[in-house]
Structure 1
Amino acid sequence: MTGVSDLGQLLRKARTEKNISLDQLQETTKIRKRYLEAIEEGNYKILPGTFYVRAFIKQYSEAVGLDPDEVFRLYAHIIPSADPEPSNEPIRMARRSAVNPPERVGKWASALLMIAFPILIIGVIYYYLNMNMESRDNVLPNEPITDSSAAEQGATLGGEDGSDEPADTPAEPDTVQTPLPPPPEPEPDVTFVDKFTYSKNTVERFEVRNADKIKLEIKIVGPEAWIGITHADAKSKYLHQGGLKNGDTYSEEYDHNVYLNVGRANAVELTVNGVVVEMGTEPNPRKFQFELVQTPADTGTTGN
């Protein structure tokens, strides 16, 4: 992990030396702030795939004035190899590096080409137009020349050397660059944390991440089972309680921490935000507490 932390320190140092905050960097690169923090900490696991790891590191390096090619060369042993480019979603950075390998030279060359080409065309048209006007001066001394006729004359005279090809081949226009697609939203995560004692009963505590609500789905698959649901901070006041028979279901969403009491564990199938919670094979009662955990990106906290 030393190499990973060294890369994160290098990027953070370059950012702080330029007095760029993570919020400013997020606005510049359009990369979520928590992914920028993960890159600085070397925590690539929360990023959505190695393709985005490499793309985000490249954008970060460019935004703080580092040479991304040099960064990839120095830290090739810890930066994941590139996955195949996501299908049906053009990636701005991959497209730009393919069209313009030396970025600065490519930009200048494109700009000079766009300026020089119209001047060259106007010069050629003007030259041949003057020659044509001199040869036809006695016939059409005052006939105005329109843009379309001048273009036709220039195209005709441009092939007088016997070649079927025009004198100048127009340069292909630059490809329109498309923005990097947003990474997919993380799936809800339900994780067992620990156990604690409440009113002489053992309570199993779970944390629910990547979600703004707790969704309980209960199905009775055995004999009748009693369930009770309360607010985690007010366990004496029931939000729902009662017995359910075989085949009955119960589903509800809560925007706060939830305390769940199940009277017969092996008769219940329990799913929390799409994640199955194992209930075991014993008919004993079980108590659960599910707690919403907000990430920094969800709560809108700021900081460098």
Structure 2
Amino acid sequence: MEINEIKNFKDLGEYLKNEREKKGITLDYIEKETKIRKKYLSSMEEGNFHLIPGGDVYVKGFLKNYSQICGIDYISILNVYKNLVNNTEIKNKEENLIYKGETSKKEIQEVKPNKKKIKAWVVWTFTLIIIAGIIYILNLNPLNYSFKSTNNVNNLNNSESVIESPTPNPDQDNSQNNQMPVKESKEEVKVVEETAKKITAEVSSEKIRANIKVLSDKCWISVKENGKIIFEGTLQSKEEKYFESTTGLEIRVGNPKAIEFFILNKKLPLSGSSPVTIFINKI
């Protein structure tokens, strides 16, 4: 298959796989060289690009690294991928327009007044009005009114005490009753351990927030929450990634000197070119 014969994502995956196998390159080797997990490489070769986390940005990065390892023109591969994405979006929009048009026609056909239901509703409403009028007239019976009034007078005469509403004291300061105590929240970051390969930080905050900005070159990172990987991939130059957790984060950085690392918007100094693992825990 030639690159100009690619018609869909499946064709693109097959093309990549064929070029890799021609050169005798294994997925294990690509995983080792690019730090891209083998399952994502397999997803690309199967045409399942939607299974790669991070969206188009990471798909393009994976395609570039994959192509460079296999000696494929990555610019042509990226152009093919962009065209497939654009064609898919246009097709989806057309299908949505057709679906909405058919739905609107169906709704117009179904919205027809039911004369029998309207007539029954009018009869019931009129009947309820008549019943309400009869009840109102019976409540105006003079004898019933006189009896109620006499009872009310006797009740007032027999009452021994009158409950009065308290009079507000103008000298009393009620400002404390009208104010709710305000709880001040302070976000603090404290580094409790720091070595060449490991940094442990503790934060005083309801949520842990970490921000990674790539200054130059590129940087591979892996992010775990409660031992489960929530992101893994290569960030390109000028790319930025944000992570948040209510429990804790474990972030492994492959190229510390290429990034700026922030915890709760406070910069954590990093240096060196060796990988470092950053543990962020709540106090």
Q: TM-score by structure 2 length?
A: 0.36
Q: Normalized per residue, which structure has more helix?
A: 2
Rg larger in 1 or in 2? 2
